[in-house]
Amino acid sequence: MDLLRDFTLDNPAIPWKTWILRFGFIEFALETYLLYRQYWVLCSGIVPKQLEKEIDQDTFDKSQRYGRAKAKFGVIKSVFSLVKNVYVIQKDLLPYAWDLSAWVLRTYAPRWMPTGEIATSLVFVFGFQIVEMVVDLPFGLWYHFVLEESFGFNKQTYSLYFTDKLKGIALSIVFGVPIGAGFLKIIQSTGNAFFLYVWVFMLAVQLVGITIYPTLIVPLFNKLTPLEPGELKERVEGLAKRLNFPLAELQVIDGSKRSAHSNAYFTGLPFLPKKIVIYDTLLEKAETKEVEAVLAHELGHWKMGHTSKLLGISSGHLLFVFALFSVFIDNKSLYEAFGFFAEKPIVIGFLLFNDVLSPTDALVKFAMNALTRKFEFEADEFSQRLGYAKELAGSLIKLQIQNLSSMDADPWYSSYHYSHPILTERLKAVGWTSEKKVSNEKPKIGESVEANGGSKKEL
């Protein structure tokens, strides 16, 4: 009993640095093992039985190559990230970066600018982000301009790519400075109960972000235009009216500006008018009723309250994280293990706390993916009940082909990584069976084919 009573997390005997390093290696080993299992699935040359009439062998093989290319890229990036993190921890670069941030502030900041902990924290965070962006730049360039381009997906120029990066930095500063300053000021001012005040503050930030993202942020990167009058607009507006969906705007986004991938989504706070956004790439490849089926799926998420439930869960998790952080915020032994002896900056404590909490991330990720997969099945069923089973299946197959998404997955890998069920699971759930006849000469992407009564379609 005495041993338990004397135990405290603020204990110099606890090897915090060793624990965090081990957590990093365990997470890396787990994700590498799961990727290894998935890689062998991606090496298969056999089209899943449910899709063998829908996807020709060349398309399937290209999808498998794309998946293997991304897997190899992911391993290389993960190894680099692991080495980088170990180097930062082992060389005690965090206190060096903190001292450098304080020196920059003292040396170059205008006289009117404060130079206390909050200002130093902001310089530290944004400086670290810029360094991270520069260090990871070769990976981003390779991914978009080599890997994605080799499979025909990348549509952006180098100029657009770097412009997006600069816009991202500017937005990070414009929004990050007041949010970061508010976060730190609340913790400094509210004592041991700070986690409640910080939680309310961050929840408000989240809700404001949901509100302004589609109207202020998205237009900085993409062009949004109203959906042109026609059959699709009439059908979508009719669907929204039938479901009492509070549709305010129906817009098309120029996703083709950067990528050939496609999607559709809606935005807006619960109980307020919503905006539906459709990628131009989806309009190019899918028929009217197939686009309508995709949107019926999205409206199913709204009708069953999935977005509100996920917002509530994420808010609850955030409260739990902040409450747990209140236990670690004054942990002197944790700070000293990483070279902070004279001071205990809040932002450093939060970073280290997140490293300590990292083993729970895998459990949270697994649980959240299981929940979102359940929601996807429910939204598919909703679309099916509205009479879109055939069109939904057709659109899912086309999206899978257009995006060269993996046609199959290792069950362990998909359980950990996938927020959506794999295609064959979704087709089976909506009771879909192919109506196509088996043919030795199967069409390739982009070829016109005769199907469903002779109407011409673009796969």
Query: What is the rounded distance in angstroms from the CA atom of residue 33 to the CA atom of residue 76?
Result: 14
For each successive 10 residues of the chain (459 residues), what is the average pLDDT? Answer: 51 90 93 95 91 88 95 95 94 94 90 88 93 94 94 90 92 92 94 91 91 85 87 89 88 81 77 84 85 90 90 92 91 93 92 90 90 95 92 88 88 92 90 62 39 33
262, 285 contact by CB (below 8 A): yes
In the chain, where the domains are located: 222-280
**Residue 83: what residue type?**
V
In a 10 Å sphere around its CB, with 0-12 CB exposed, 13-18 middle and 19+ buried, how is residue 6 labelled?
Answer: exposed
285, 402 contact by CB (below 8 A): yes
Please state the separation of Cα 287 from the chain's center in Å: 28
Catalytic residue among 56, 290, 292, 380: 380
Cβ atoms < 10 Å from Cβ of 155: 18
Looking at residue 435, its pLDDT comes to 67
Active site residue 380: yes
Looking at residue 450, its pLDDT comes to 33
- 102: nearest Cα among 117, 88, 85, 120: 120
Query: Is 420 annotated as belonging to a binding site?
Result: no
SS3 label, residue 418? coil
Query: Is 317 annotated as belonging to a binding site?
Result: no
Active site residue 361: no
pTM of the model: 0.84
Looking at residue 86, its pLDDT comes to 94
Catalytic residue among 298, 391, 408, 410: 298
Looking at residue 451, its pLDDT comes to 35
Query: What is the rounded distance in angstroms from the CA atom of residue 262 to the CA atom of residue 399?
Result: 7
Cβ atoms < 10 Å from Cβ of 295: 26
For the sheet with 224-226, list strands across it: 224-226, 247-253, 274-279, 264-267
Looking at residue 288, its pLDDT comes to 87
Task: Evaluate the CA torsion angle 145, 149, 151, 153 in order and state its sign.
Answer: positive
Looking at residue 431, its pLDDT comes to 84
> What DSSP string describes 257-311?
GTBS---EEEE--TTS-EEEEEEHHHHHHS-HHHHHHHHHHHHHHHHTTHHHHHH
Looking at residue 443, its pLDDT comes to 41
- 412: nearest Cα among 142, 13, 32, 15: 32
222-280 is classed in which CATH architecture?
Answer: 2-Layer Sandwich (3.30)
338, 89 contact by CB (below 8 A): yes
Looking at residue 436, its pLDDT comes to 62
Looking at residue 360, its pLDDT comes to 87
Query: Is 391 annotated as belonging to a binding site?
Result: no
